[in-house]
Amino acid sequence: MSSHEDKSEVTDTDLVTAAQKGGMEAFEQLVARHRDKIYARAYGMMRHEDEALDLSQEAWVKGWQRLAQFHGDSSFATWMTRIVINLCLDQLRKQKRQRAESIEALEEESGGVERYMPAVNPNPTAHLERTELRGRIDRALGQLSAEHRTVLVLHEFEELEYKEIAKKMGCSIGTVMSRLFYARRRMASLLAGLKREKTE
Amino acid sequence: MNQNLEFKLQAWLDGELSGSEAQAIEREVAADADVARLAAELRTVKSAMAGNETARVVPETREFYWSKIQRQIERESAQPAPARRMAVWRHWLSPLAGLAGLACILILAIKPGTPATFDEISSTGEGMEAVTFHDQSAGMTVVWLADSEREQPQIQSPAPKTEEGGSGVEVE
């Protein structure tokens, strides 16, 4: 049987069971099904194509090695997403250690200019096509610091609660609240700025 | 607006506040236009982002992407095996090495530098066998005389034993 034969009728659960018995072919099917999602999560956090590729592939290797620990408490895709998120967080921590303390890093905790900005109104994203809105959000995310982007991705896209984010990021709930607040304020400012660019 | 109120306002929007705290924030939003504006801004960002993550596709073919994963899996599955074997050996050898070390220490501590406890000299004559022990630590020599026609003596240390048909003679 070719490893690329379409097995779309086979469930993830069946493929996981086969892979847990050593079936590399079944695991390849799982990779093929979910590779874009895992890569997208890595890219969303790292904003760097090569890093996202490396980390997503590392996540699949870890997934294979830890397959016996998967008991189906969540979906396989969710389980894999958690693995790649943890790898990305490790990588971001390494990068942060290498990065010298900067004014930007200090401002992330205290809010920087966002602290003094008036609230952006009316809604800058109103009446936008979904594709255009996604594009703007993506560009705005690309302009955030790694800490602000990470907390937004984990809260808005992964829908994690404050305490779960704090645990993953190795910080206090207060820090999560602070980062999330200023990340949102910066996003509001960026989305408003992008709207102005469009209309000018 | 103080920072505590800002963070609580956000927590309220995220459903992270308890009932009584949530009601307190609702009252603040209703009473203060600045708080209401900030709440609207935070809500806008939250709702704009929900479900609006840009989809991305792996920029490599399925075959190439998988080949790299497969190679890494094979490389890593080859490496840990010896490490696992070493771990098993370490698991068993560590306590044994510890016991051996302890035994050495005990031996040296009890009789440091003591040579062999006793020398043994055996000579056999016609109808008679003589076995001599010399215990250097005790400064004692024991000579066994036994009728070789009869049962051989059983030698036990350190105290000499007189077998039936033989006799022990102590020599200073």
Q: Are A187 and A144 in contact (CB under 8 A)?
A: yes
Nearest to B66 among A31, A138, A155 (CB): A31
Q: Hey, is the C-beta of B33 within 8 angstroms of any chain A C-beta?
A: no
> Per the domain annotation, does B66 fall within a domain?
yes
Q: Per-residue pLDDT for chain B (172 aa), expressed as one digit of tens each?
A: 799 999 999 999 999 999 999 999 999 999 999 999 999 999 999 999 999 999 999 999 999 999 999 999 999 988 755 555 565 566 666 667 777 777 766 666 665 555 545 455 555 555 566 666 666 667 777 666 666 555 444 444 444 443 333 444 343 3
Strand locations in B34-160, DSSP E? Answer: 118-125, 128-135, 140-146
Q: Which of residues 48-107 of A touch B (CB under 8 A)?
A: 49, 53, 56-58, 60-61, 64-65
> Which ipTM value was assigned to this complex?
0.83
Structural domain boundaries, residue B32: 1-79
- Give the whole-angstrom CA distance, residue B168 versus residue B145: 7
* Per-residue pLDDT tens over the stretch A71-119: 999 999 999 999 999 999 999 999 988 775 555 555 555 666 666 677 7
- Contact yes or no for A30/A12 (Cβ under 8 A): yes
Nearest Cβ partner of A61 from B6, B44, B76?
Answer: B76
Selected for mutation to probe chain B from A45, A64, A132, A182 (highest B CB count within 10 Å) is: A64
Cis ω before A118 (30° cut-off from 0): no
Does a structural domain hold residue B106?
Answer: no
Instruction: Give CA–CA dist B146/B162, Å, rounded.
Output: 9
Residues of B in contact with A53 (CB under 8 A): 58-60
B62 and B128 fall within a common domain: no
Element (H, E) at B169: strand B166-171
Specify the pLDDT at position A110. Answer: 61
Out of B54, B79, B104, a domain closes at B79
Q: Which two tokens stand for residue A130?
A: 């979904």
Q: What is the tally of structural domains in chain B?
A: 2
B11 and B74 co-located in one domain:
yes
Whether cis (ω within 30° of 0) applies to the bond prior to B158 is yes
Helix (H, G, I), strand (E, B), or coil: what is residue A170? coil
From the list B39, B9, B4, B42, the residue with the least C-alpha distance to A174 is B4
Distance CA A106, CA A195 (A): 28
Enumerate residues 6+ apart whose C-beta is below 8 A from B132: B120, B121, B122, B123, B141, B142, B143, B144
Tell me the C-alpha distance between B17 and A43, whole Å. 32
A16-40 pLDDT, tens digit each: 999 999 999 999 999 999 999 999 9
CA distance A93 to chain B (A): 24
CB contact under 8 Å between A118 and B6, yes or no, is no
Give the model confidence (pLDDT) of A133-185 as tens digits. Answer: 999 999 999 999 999 999 999 999 999 999 999 999 999 999 999 999 999 99
**Nearest chain A CA: its distance from B93 CA (Å):** 28
| Whether B34 contacts chain A with CB within 8 A | yes
Query: What are the φ/ψ torsions at residue A196 (nearest 5 degrees)?
Result: -65, -40
When the pLDDT of each residue in chain A is averaged and rounded to a whole number, the result is 88
Q: At what angle do helices B33-49 and A130-142 cross, to 10 degrees?
A: 100
Give contacts of B 98-127 with A, CB under 8 A.
none
Token pair recorded at residue A55? 């980390």
Say which residue the tokens 């999330």 belong to. A180
Residues B67 and B8 in one domain: yes
Question: Is B93 part of any domain?
Answer: no
Buried b (16+ CB within 10 A) or exposed e, B55-69: ebebeeeeeebbeeb
Confirm whether B51 is domain-assigned. Answer: yes
Would you say residue B113 lies in a domain?
Answer: no
Residue bearing tokens 């490599």? B60
Q: Is B56 among the domain residues?
A: yes
Residue A64 reports pLDDT greater than 90? yes
The first and second tokens of residue A5, run together, are: 């034969």
Which residues in chain A have Cβ-Cβ distances shorter than 8 Å to B34? 119
Q: Give helix then strand counts, H and E, for chain A.
A: 9, 0
Torsion angles phi and psi, residue B77, rounded to 5: -75, -20
Helix (H, G, I), strand (E, B) or coil at B170: strand
Six-digit token pair at A161?
A: 């609660």
Residue B108 lies in a domain: no
- pLDDT for A193 equals 76
Q: Which of B79, B113, B134 is the last residue of a domain?
A: B79
Domain shared by B131 and B60, yes or no: no
Q: Is B162 domain-assigned?
A: yes
- Amino acid found at B142: V
Tell me the CB-side half-sphere exposure of residue B103, using CA atoms within 13 A.
6
